Structure 1
Amino acid sequence: MGIIRESELPGLGKKYQLEARSGDKLVIVIHDDGRRELFHYDDHDPEESISLVTLEDQEARQVAAIIGGMTYKPKALENIEVTLEELVIDWFKLEASFKSVDKTIAELDVRAKTGATVLAIIGKNGQKINPGPEDRLVAGATIVIAGERKQIRLLKELLQFG
């Protein structure tokens, strides 16, 4: 993993410097008004910024979701789970044949029956982060789920077989 340094910018916000394993240097300034500035520096001159991108708060959050894998999971990672202690985060595509299709999270009683959590529903018409119990599961959507391994297994069974 790369090196990240954090520093306060009094009256302005916070600054994060990232030195990636690739050698790239990125500086992110988060302003107190919500704007983010991303500076990319020249490999040969660490003081020379070669590009700057300015994002509003909502744009930055959308980019964070994209980079974090909430909207697309690379094919090479489809079967890899991200594990944090006992917590597993997984992506699961809802097939048209699944018993859960066209039912809401509440109708399936996901939390009570499995203990797992649906973090996001990513469909053809966009994404829904932190869906509520009234959100309906549709064929072709991918859901992002979290829980312990046993809970994830139970949820996948519930989604497929009812």
Structure 2
Amino acid sequence: MNFKETELPGIGKKIVANTRSGEKLAIIIHDDGKREIFHLEQDNPEDYTSMITLDDDEARYVSAIIGGATYKPTALDNIEVALGDLIIEWYKLEPHFKAIGKTIGDLRIRQRSGATIIAVVEKNHTKHINPGADLLLTSDALVVVLGERLHQQQIRQILLSGSN
């Protein structure tokens, strides 16, 4: 997810977030504590599909809910204990990713990052569990990766840059 912050003189600050799924979210934090949250149209980011207004207390409570402070799913807690420092991440191969059209072996992912691709789900929902080095990565595929945090940072760079 990437963010763009803009100062709004006399109003506050605007943060626009582009999610991994390709959606856009704009949050305006007013100097008086009010928050406005907009779900922006994908085709026209000047328009929005929905809007929510929260006061300061509501925004802090919703933030705690989203951040997991008020409820943490039991399954996630068990996974964290079982995996320790290992993390499972999902990467959607967006059209600008340079890894598209290359195989896992071409990219030498395991050797270069220490991470392991444990599954790939293609746009047409074809699943490849424990894919081999000869699997060709395609646009909009979902790549499921197991590794430590540093490994995850490295694999993201490999998928983005596509360099061998």
* TM-score, structure 2 normalization: 0.48
* TM-score, structure 1 normalization: 0.49
**Structure that is richer in strand per residue:** 1
